[in-house]
């Protein structure tokens, strides 16, 4: 045992006493922390070491005997972890790569590689992340480290999502779920992450009922950061709103609001408030919702956030349009247009508003032009529901004017787009 790392020694002593990670951790730390210590992914504090030594019934000196704590390498590793928490992924990559080039330390190579993958994902380097995960999968797909295998599969699923390879993403995420359930001691944090990823995937491929189920299961497990729980409740609220389950949507939205008020930063709070206002617009007091949105847009303008202000003005324009206030819709759509970048998909909604106003004024030529602009933008951004709605409006208009051939071509365009989206999402008909 003289050449083992601190984590390996703790694991050997625990197994020798027939203890589980939960039993060893009780009153000292979490079982998840024990798992990380034993795999040398985390270093215990002195107080924690004393508690573990007492629980294992060994002298602290015996626990540390001939164990090289490698202060230089450990410090570099901790610095990399701190950089990752601060989202300074570029600096963390340099530190982790330098540790991977050294063989003298006892930090597990697999753990360094996994942290490097997380950095690449944070930087948007999907190909580098995938390459690292494939190497890791070959290294851990042998039953030696089941905990690490679950994480590798989870991140492979994440890569699949980022590449829009949704069936591959589902395959890896489901495998992560299956592997996790085989373990005697299930880490609830990892379990919640898998459930949230499954929820997001099912939402993306249009399986809303399954997505709601996974989100609800994740919330039962995830007692962590209020902001994370708030975002999950908000996703549930939006799914229920889409399904016309307005009472349940409002309940989830209220829970999201309370959680964000407790702990989120100002930017998060504003974004959540905006989405909550839109979710609650069915309550009847739409003018009250309008005033709240206008106040928010003005605040964004004062803060110099032109694009955010543009998005909120687009919301106000759509709200006015829903209630037949065409003059107000025009004014706010114009304000949105001035704040938004041309590449934003929200510009498509602005064109929709302009189109409706022009049609209301009997200016069909300009109305049609803006409708086509909206269709082009939604198609470019892959916005399925929005593109379908606009194309159906175009086809109905053309058919009403007796332009059946053009209407048929529009339906063919919509069909090609929908089939392409289904194939992209891994659904072959």
Q: Of the segments 125-129, 183-187, 386-390, which one has the largest average pLDDT value?
A: 125-129
With respect to residue 418, please indicate whether it lies within any of the assigned structural domains.
yes
Other C-beta atoms lying within 10 Å of the C-beta of residue 15: 11
With respect to residue 55, please indicate whether it lies within any of the assigned structural domains.
yes
- Residue 72 pLDDT greater than 60, yes or no: no
Angle of helix 266-279 relative to helix 226-242, nearest 10 degrees, comes to 20
Give kind and range of the element (H or E) at residue 331.
Answer: helix 326-339
What percent of the chain is predicted at pLDDT more than 90? 36
The least confident of 4-8, 94-98, 170-174, 337-341 is 4-8
With respect to residue 77, please indicate whether it lies within any of the assigned structural domains.
no
Question: What number is the average pLDDT over the span 364-391?
Answer: 90
With respect to residue 427, please indicate whether it lies within any of the assigned structural domains.
yes
Res 75: pLDDT:
65
Domain region containing 351: 344-429
Q: What is the pTM of this model?
A: 0.57
Res 293: pLDDT:
92
CATH number at residue 39: 1.10.260.40
With respect to residue 220, please indicate whether it lies within any of the assigned structural domains.
no
- Contact status, residue 263 vs residue 279, Cβ threshold 8 Å: no
- Contact status, residue 315 vs residue 330, Cβ threshold 8 Å: no
- Contact status, residue 390 vs residue 374, Cβ threshold 8 Å: yes
With respect to residue 38, please indicate whether it lies within any of the assigned structural domains.
yes
What percent of the chain is predicted at pLDDT more than 70? 87
> Is the model more confident about 284 or about 233?
233
Q: How many domains does the chain have?
A: 2
**pLDDT tier, 22 (very low <50, low <70, confident <90, very high otherwise):** very high
Question: What number is the average pLDDT over the span 382-387?
Answer: 83
With respect to residue 52, please indicate whether it lies within any of the assigned structural domains.
yes
Res 262: pLDDT:
62
Question: What number is the average pLDDT over the span 354-376?
Answer: 95
Question: What number is the average pLDDT over the span 278-286?
Answer: 68
Res 1: pLDDT:
38
**pLDDT tier, 147 (very low <50, low <70, confident <90, very high otherwise):** confident
Tell me how far the alpha carbon of residue 384 is from its chain's centroid.
20
With respect to residue 48, please indicate whether it lies within any of the assigned structural domains.
yes
The least confident of 210-224, 338-352, 372-386 is 210-224
Question: What number is the average pLDDT over the span 293-301?
Answer: 91
Question: What number is the average pLDDT over the span 51-70?
Answer: 74
Query: Where do the H-state alpha helices sit in 43-187?
Result: 46-56, 60-64, 71-85, 89-100, 109-123, 126-140, 146-162, 166-182
Res 2: pLDDT:
44
The alpha carbon dihedral of 118, 120, 124, 126 has a sign of negative
DSSP assigned state of 205: T
């Amino acid at each position: 045992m003289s050449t083992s790392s601190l984590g390996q020694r703790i694991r050997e002593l625990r197994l020798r006493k027939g203890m589980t990670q939960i039993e060893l951790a009780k009153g000292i730390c979490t079982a998840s922390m024990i798992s990380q210590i034993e795999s040398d992914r985390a270093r215990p504090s002195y107080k924690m070491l004393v508690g573990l030594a007492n629980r294992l019934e060994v002298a602290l000196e015996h626990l540390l005997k001939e164990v090289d704590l490698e202060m230089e390498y450990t410090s570099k590793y901790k610095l990399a972890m701190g950089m990752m928490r601060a989202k300074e992924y570029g600096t963390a990559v340099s530190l982790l790569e330098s540790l991977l080039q050294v063989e003298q330390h006892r930090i597990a190579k697999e753990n360094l590689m996994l942290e490097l993958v997380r950095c690449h994902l944070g930087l948007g380097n999907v190909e580098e992340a995938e390459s690292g995960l494939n190497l890791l999968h070959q290294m851990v797909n042998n039953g030696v480290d089941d905990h690490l295998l679950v994480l590798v599969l989870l991140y492979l699923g994440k890569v699949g999502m980022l590449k829009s390879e949704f069936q591959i993403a589902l395959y890896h995420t489901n495998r992560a779920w299956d592997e996790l359930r085989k373990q005697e001691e299930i880490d609830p944090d990892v379990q919640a992450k898998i459930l949230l990823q499954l929820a997001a995937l099912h939402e993306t491929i249009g399986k809303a009922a399954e997505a709601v189920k996974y989100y609800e299961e994740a919330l039962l497990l995830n007692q962590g950061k209020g902001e994370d729980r708030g975002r999950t409740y908000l996703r549930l609220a939006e799914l229920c709103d889409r399904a016309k389950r307005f009472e349940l949507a409002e309940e989830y939205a209220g829970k999201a609001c309370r959680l964000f008020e407790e702990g989120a930063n100002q930017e998060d709070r504003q974004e959540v408030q905006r989405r909550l206002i839109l979710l609650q617009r069915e309550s009847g007091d739409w003018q009250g919702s309008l005033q709240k949105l206008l106040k928010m847009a003005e605040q964004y303008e004062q803060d110099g956030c032109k694009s955010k202000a543009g998005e909120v003005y687009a919301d106000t324009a759509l709200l006015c349009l829903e209630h037949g206030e065409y003059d107000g819709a025009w004014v706010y759509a114009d304000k949105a247009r001035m704040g938004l970048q041309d590449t934003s998909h929200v510009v498509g909604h602005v064109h929709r508003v302009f189109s409706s106003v022009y049609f209301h004024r009997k200016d069909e030529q300009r109305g049609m032009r803006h409708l086509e602009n909206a269709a082009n933008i939604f198609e470019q951004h892959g916005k399925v529901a929005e593109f379908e709605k606009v194309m159906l409006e175009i086809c109905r208009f053309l058919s009403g004017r007796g332009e059946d051939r053009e209407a048929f071509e529009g339906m063919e365009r919509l069909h090609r787009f929908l089939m392409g989206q289904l194939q992209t999402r891994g659904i072959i008909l």
